[in-house]
């Protein structure tokens, strides 16, 4: 029986450690680490050290911004009410009330299924990426963007990487021109 390598991402330490404790008893799972933010696992995903990610659904925007997750199944950990369209984007979900046996089963089944993670492969910017791009064009720093949008600086960096990947434009000046030409920002505001 293959042991699936699981990365757990949740800013709630008690929840993350509880899931890790449950999965560490399973012959079907090997917990490779507990992380607070999705951006922290990009290097281990790139190294092929993760088969499945269990992440808080509250970190959906970070998950959406992380293109390295496109082929990795993601099980959402739902600890509060979240919009149904966001919950559907995960391969599976667990809650605070899911039994330990079901957590093991759900994670193993997600790892064994081809990823149907709905992160878009298109070159169209997501709404959040457009928000970040507008603030970049207006001269905001990563820290200022994070504060303005109530997201972590790591998430801002992930969004900026995706913007560069999707547009092919690396410089702030080039991104500003792109934003103006695509009517995302009024040239008067720059």
Could you write out the DSSP letters of every residue in 135-156? HHHTT--HHHHHHHHT--HHHH
Residues 140 and 51 in one domain: no
Q: How confident is the prediction along the chain (190 residues), in pLDDT tens digits per residue? A: 678 999 999 989 999 999 999 999 999 899 999 999 888 888 888 778 889 999 988 877 777 666 566 678 889 898 776 666 667 778 888 988 899 999 999 999 888 876 544 444 446 888 899 999 999 999 999 999 999 999 988 889 888 888 888 887 888 888 888 888 888 888 777 7
Q: Domain range for residue 167?
A: 127-189
Q: pTM score, two decimals?
A: 0.59
What's the total number of domains in the chain? 2
Q: Is residue 160 part of a domain?
A: yes
SS3 breakdown of the chain: % helix, strand, coil, rounded to 5? Answer: 50, 15, 35
Say what the pLDDT of residue 146 is.
93
Residues 18 and 106 in one domain: yes
Say what the pLDDT of residue 49 is.
86
> For residue 190, which of 170, 14, 179 has the smallest C-alpha distance?
179
Residues 136 and 102 in one domain: no
Residues 97 and 147 in one domain: no
Q: Is residue 172 part of a domain?
A: yes
């Amino acid at each position: 029986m293959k042991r699936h390598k699981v990365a757990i991402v949740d800013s709630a330490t008690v929840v993350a450690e509880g899931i890790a404790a449950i999965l560490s008893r399973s012959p079907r799972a090997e917990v490779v680490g507990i992380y607070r933010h999705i951006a922290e696992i990009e290097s281990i995903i790139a190294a092929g050290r993760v088969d499945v990610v269990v992440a808080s659904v509250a970190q959906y925007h970070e998950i959406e911004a992380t293109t390295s997750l496109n082929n990795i199944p993601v099980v959402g950990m739902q600890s509060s009410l979240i919009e149904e369209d966001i919950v559907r984007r995960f391969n599976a979900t667990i809650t605070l009330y899911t039994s330990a046996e079901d957590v093991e089963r759900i994670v193993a089944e997600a790892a064994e299924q081809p990823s149907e993670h709905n992160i878009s492969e298109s070159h169209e910017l997501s709404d959040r990426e457009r928000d970040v791009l507008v603030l970049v064009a207006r001269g905001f720093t990563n820290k200022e963007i994070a504060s303005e949008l109530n997201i972590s600086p790591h998430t801002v960096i992930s969004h900026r990487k995706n913007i560069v990947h999707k547009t092919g434009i690396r410089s702030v000046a080039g991104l500003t021109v792109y934003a103006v030409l695509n009517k995302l920002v009024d040239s008067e505001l720059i």
